A and B are shown apart, each in its own frame.
Chain A
Amino acid sequence: MNTPENLKYTKEHEWIRVEGNTAYVGITDFAQGELGELVYVEVETVGETVEQDEVFGTVEAVKTTSDLFMPVSGKIVAFNPALDENEGDNPGLINEDPYGEGWVIQIEMTDSSQLESLLDAAAYQELIA
């Protein structure tokens, strides 16, 4: 199971990669494996500010549906166009490259101190072990 060291993780299996005051958010390799092939990603919160642990979107796999939760509070500034049904419409990217091309949203963090509350790679690996 791939768990990059440079990311922070939630117990709900999202990851966050910080770049200055913005950050990218996606779902972990473990999560995509558990969900199986993704068929649709819905994010209707672009432009909104969503609090930590609140739902910002939903993914549909063949067998199941899963909500996506904010790792930290922030304004959602972008939804990965490669996943968006109106553009690339390729949710399978999350299965293929969950930490890279399969990122889900970009956010502007409103309280970066919340990053402290997240799991590091070792703690996340322990969670899924």
Chain B
Amino acid sequence: MKTTPLTDLHQALGAKMAPFAGYLMPISYSGIQEEHKAVRERAGLFDVSHMGEFIVKGKQALDLIQYITSNDVSKLAIGQAQYSCMPNSHGGIIDDLLVYRLDEDQCSEGEQAFMLVVNASNIDKDWDNIQQYAVQFDTRIVNISDQSALLALQGPKAAEILQQLTDVDLSQLKYYHFAKGSVAGVGNVIVSATGYTGAGGYELYFNNHHAVQLWDAIMEAGKSAGVMPVGLGARDTLRLEMGYCLYGNDIDDTTSPLEAGLGWITKLKKGPFVGKEKIEFLKQQGISRKLVGFTVQDRRVPRHDYLLFSATGQEIGRVTSGTMSPTLGIPIGMGYVPADLAKPGTAIQVQAGSKFLAAEVTGLPFLTD
């Protein structure tokens, strides 16, 4: 079992720990609902150091990433990040990821540098996929996952807490932008205005060695604002309320980005990329199934792999993610349904054991301002 540089600290805090993607990770500290609430109303600090990071550098770094991801990397300025998919040749999704365009301080003339942030469960699969295409491009790729820590400070009070500790002017840092700076005396931290909660905030990438120092400094600086440590349990309920996909649940090697509602990060006009023909063909043909959100009119909670039925009792798909929404106080879920049943307001049913729960397709995100 792999650990993060903060595993001992989580255990000392009394966190409930469990294996996730091969890492021993904190699931919750004080309780999922309390942690969830802290992020929506104040701030929460997450250790997500299990995530993978690859550095891609070289004269054709842009071309390589443009070829293996679905979004248009040429649109990225230095200091900007984008959400993207890594499609396979069948038009399915190998992984979803963030692409960061780094500064070129360490680059030779004509080179560019990027960081790819990938799901922990897919680090090996992504690496193999990239290597398969990398030979055709003039690039150097380094897997820095084992040396990198990642903390996410999320919530409406995140800026106020982090600004006490950093020389990066957070008021100038727009959503999906980042800057390198010092945080709590640690240099070369990538401060990124990104996250997986919909609550706003930052993600901090830095060397493993400083993980405890940074964690402690943020918890201390956030004390009066009510910051709490938050585990993967609340991370899941937070992302689900926003309708964000979780790889392995809502998207996988067999789902198209078009079916998953990720057409907005699939740029078919940008030039060739892996899986493009298949995705284009699917687009022309029209997708037959769609990932939708639904709310359940019951107290029972939809769970991954529960069957979905139409109002008339026909089996139509499966639940990909489900939970009791801590903010809304009702059970919510996502799943693939036939395109003609994907319209918000459509009545469907969820099978939970021997029961059929009435549900209704709803627009995403579940949470609206």
| Interface set of A (CB-CB < 8 Å, partner B) | 33, 36-37, 39-40, 42, 55, 58, 60, 62-65, 67, 85
Contact = CB atoms under 8 A, between A and B. Distances in A.
B237 A62 contact: yes
B299 A60 contact: yes
Contacts of A39: 299, 301, 324
Given A36-B31, A36-B233, A42-B300, A62 B323 contact: yes
Nearest to B302: A65
B279 to A, nearest CB: 34
20 contacts: A36-B28, A36-B32, A37-B31, A37-B32, A37-B33, A40-B299, A40-B300, A40-B301, A55-B353, A58-B353, A62-B32, A62-B33, A62-B233, A62-B326, A63-B27, A63-B233, A63-B236, A65-B300, A65-B303, A85-B299
Nearest to B237: A62
A55 B300 CA distance: 16
B301 A36 contact: no
Interface in B272-314: 299-301, 303
A55 B353 CA distance: 11
Contacts of B326: 62
Contacts of B323: 62-63
Interface residues of B, number: 18
B33 A42 contact: no
Contacts of B339: none
B16 interface: yes
Interface of B: 16, 27-28, 31-33, 233, 236-237, 299-301, 303, 323-324, 326, 352-353
A70 to B, nearest CB: 16
The 5 A-B residue pairs with the shortest CB-CB distance, nearest first, are A40-B299, A62-B32, A60-B301, A39-B324, A37-B31
Nearest to A34: B16
Nearest to A85: B299
A42 to B, nearest CB: 7
Given A33-B16, A65-B300, 4 more contacts: A40-B301, A42-B299, A58-B353, A65-B352
Contacts of A55: 353
A85 B329 CA distance: 14
B305 to A, nearest CB: 12
A60 B324 contact: yes
A107 B236 CA distance: 38
A62 B16 CA distance: 14
Nearest to B326: A62
Contacts of B233: 36, 62-63
Given A42-B300, A65-B352, A36 B324 contact: no
Nearest to B331: A60
A66 to B, nearest CB: 11
A55 B31 CA distance: 27
Contacts of B27: 63
Contacts of B303: 64-65
